[in-house]
Amino acid sequence: MLNVLFSAAPKDWDKYRDAIVTALAGAGLETDLRRDHAAENVDYIVYAPSGATLDFTPFTRCKAVLSLWAGVETIITNTTLTQPLARMVDPGMTAGMVEYVCGHVLRHHLGMDRDILRRDTNWQPHDPPLAQDRPVTILGLGELGLAAAQALASLGFAVTGWSRTAKSAPGLRCLHGTDGLWQALTGAQIVVLLLPDTGPTRNILNPETLALTATGAVIINPGRGVLIDDAALLAALDSGQIGHATLDVFRSEPLPPDHAYWAHPHVTVTPHIASGTRPRTAAEVIADNIRRGETGEPFLHLVGRERGY
Ligand code: NAP
């Protein structure tokens, strides 16, 4: 019998319990999933920063910590965590992110607001542009960025992806490194941020990099709030260098009511809903990783402490 500790917000227990129990049984594992195991008896921890666990030292026989979240910036700096840490890579979450990104890219590409928000009776035909004429750049070509890039490319967009290490993917222009960032942003009309929060990615959109995009470019950020220098973005919106920003994540969440983003006419705020972890598919990923731990196979989706994601 394996003892699995569920350490996340109390509301998550109702959301995930049945799915995880079902997936663990489906993986042929005999487990006891609870919120209150004695630390020294725990084999695995299903973890979210919203839970109570701050000190991992007493979990002496714990073989892995399995994050319910894709972003691990709040746990990676915890020096008591010496066990392997797997982040969440969930096919359901990936599908949700692809839908969010494609929906918001198409909104801006087609200028949908013009007709949807119209309150007058002006009949003014306009030619919808073609995706092939719209350069879209995705910063971050990982699980989510690559899937979004491929979906946009399949719609015909001219997609450039940027990552830390060199990559290649059919139908995408793949760039990396500092020179690659400059090339990726130069002339981009829509920029999507799907980078993790690490030292090198903070304020990656700043006065210098925002100036590289096409005039009137759109920024879509479902990555992390710290990727954007907020003052620089607001200045670029006011000058017209950036035409619109659709922002899902913020330095401080919930976004404070007096934040300039709420009232800005060229900013769309979504409340960190781009794509949440989906219990059923995520539970299967968790169960598979526990099965791997028990059969001596390497864990999937391990976080690289040195690289920070
Ligand atoms: P991932 O698979 O780890 O991919 C991260 C990508 O960023 C990789 O392509 C990586 O490059 C690149 N990268 C990291 N540091 C870089 C740097 N210094 N310079 C250039 N590229 C760099 O992560 P993911 O699963 O796609 O998730 C991305 C982020 O999305 C998460 O960290 C989280 O913050 C955010 N997220 C948000 C929501 C939401 O609802 N808003 C939901 C889920 C996730 P390499 O490929 O070379 O490693």
Question: Residues 13-38: what's their mean pLDDT?
Answer: 98
User: What is the distance in A from the centroid of ligand 1 to the CA of 42?
Assistant: 30
CA distance 133 to 74: 39
Of 272, 291, 292, 305, the catalytic one is 272
pLDDT tens per residue, range 218-229: 999 999 999 999
* Ligand 1 site-directed mutation target among 144, 183, 220, 281, most atoms within 8 Å of CB: 144
Is residue 186 within 8 Å of 196, Cβ to Cβ? no
Per-residue pLDDT of 45-68, as tens digits, reads 999 999 999 999 999 999 999 999
Q: What is the mean pLDDT of the chain?
A: 97
Average pLDDT over residues 129-135: 97
Q: What percent of the chain has pLDDT over 90?
A: 99
Q: Does 16 have pLDDT greater than 90?
A: yes
pLDDT of residue 155: 98
Contact call for residues 303 and 86 (beta carbons, < 8 A): yes
DSSP sequence for 178-207: HHHHHHHHTT-SEEEE-----GGGTT-BSH
Q: Which residues line ligand 1 (CB under 6 A)?
A: 70-71, 93, 140-145, 163-165, 194-198, 200-201, 222-224, 248-249, 272, 274-275, 309
Is 114 a residue of the active site? no
Q: Measure 274 CA to ligand 1 centroid, in angstroms.
A: 14
Residue 149 is predicted with a pLDDT of 98
Average pLDDT over residues 125-148: 97
Dihedral over alpha carbons 250, 195, 211, 161 (to 10 degrees): -150
Supply the residue whose CA is at minimum distance from atom 22 of ligand 1.
164
pLDDT band at residue 128 under the 50/70/90 scheme: confident
Question: Angle at which helices 143-154 and 91-110 pack, to 10 degrees?
Answer: 50
Residues found in the chain: 309
Say what the pLDDT of residue 27 is.
98
Which tokens sit at 226? 């710290």
Task: Identify the pLDDT of residue 107.
Answer: 98
In this prediction, residues 83-87 reach a mean pLDDT of 98
How far out from the chain centre does Cα 67 lie? Answer: 14
For residue 166, how many other CB atoms are within 10 A of its CB? 10
Record the tokens describing residue 24, joined without a space: 């663990």
Euclidean distance between CA atoms 309 and 306, whole angstroms: 8
What are 197-219's pLDDT values in tens digits? 999 999 999 999 999 999 999 99
Q: Is 224 a catalytic residue?
A: yes
Q: Which atom of ligand 1 is nearest to the CA of 309?
A: 3
Q: Which of 195, 268, 301, 303 to mutate to test the pocket of ligand 1 (most atoms within 8 A of CB)?
A: 195
Residue 41 has pLDDT above 90, yes or no: yes
pLDDT digits (tens, 9 = 90+) for 140-169: 999 999 999 999 999 999 999 999 999 999
pLDDT in tens, 260-289: 999 999 999 999 999 999 999 999 999 999
* Residue nearest ligand 1's atom 15 by CA: 164
What percent of the chain stands above pLDDT 70?
A: 100
